[in-house]
Structure 1
Amino acid sequence: MYTAATRFKVVGQLVNQGLAQAVQPRLIRAIAEGDSAGARRLYRQATRALMAITWPVWIGYAALAPWLLELFGPSYPQGVDIALVLSATMMIATACGMVDVVLIASGRTTASLVNIVSAVTVTIVLDLMLVPSMGALGAALGWSGGVLVKNVLPLVQLHGLRPRIAA
């Protein structure tokens, strides 16, 4: 059930990767050249574009989850809660934009590493706590916690870089 419910998040991830590949070089160049205004503009434009493209997918997936999951079999609509967690999490992650790219490009690689270790730790701890009692929904919540940490921590850290390179 968890695997089926997560198949739809691949769509948003592919859009995110494609946009990131298109914007990353210009964003990194702007940061390297000290063009804070240009970096901010690119970051915001890319984040808005990503939200405009993917949020309708996440909202649609959340709304249509009972019927979409039924494509995998008659018992799969029980995974609607998982689909809702995944959709909400991906919407929040998308709204954060390419925060880790900006953090790394601004020379904060150690912070990025700490953020990733923190995200993995949160995922494992939540999984250990939630999966035994909640099953697949607990796994989705654990994954969600890790994704939120991975995206929100660098966003908070970038705001500490103002005015150099603020998200």
Structure 2
Amino acid sequence: MNPTVVVMGVSGVGKTTVARLLAERLGLPYAEADDFHPPANIARMSAGIPLDDADRRPWLEAIGAWLHQRREDGTGGVVTCSALKRRYRDTLRAACPDAWFLHLAGSHDLVADRIDHRTGHFMPASLLDSQYATLEPLTADERGGVLDVGPTPDRLVDSAIRLLALPTPAGTSGNPVNGDIA
């Protein structure tokens, strides 16, 4: 069965770039989490207003439904989603229990610089602090891995593919690497 992968992290870490490349390299369907937001959520974020959990619930459920369908179809897939809190990831796992999370992590300064230099995105740099404050990193019992975003996107995808290919010994968490490897 093809994997279902959620590329997660705060805004500006390169989720879209890495997820698109990963999906292309693995020959999997790709989806951008931002496309699942209702217009009201985009308006809030564009105005610099952080979303609350009530705003996020239908968005997370829609992403979970996409993952579930890819699993049911056997196609697998790669989707971006900030998935900053454990309970958000739990919502996605409820829809797709074998989802694997790739957490792209970077220093606040690096990510803020990236946000300051990108164009055409609704997420303002002013919300970055709230995202870092909200972030709950993957724990040992969650399937996934963490990559530092310093390397190029191609190197990150190489590292992600290696992480996905690692066998999970019986009786372990399914989280072969929960640290920086790139």
TM-score (norm 1): 0.33
Q: Which has the higher strand share?
A: 2
Greater C-alpha radius of gyration: 1
RCO comparison, higher one (Cα < 8 Å, 6+): 2
Q: Which has the higher helix share?
A: 1
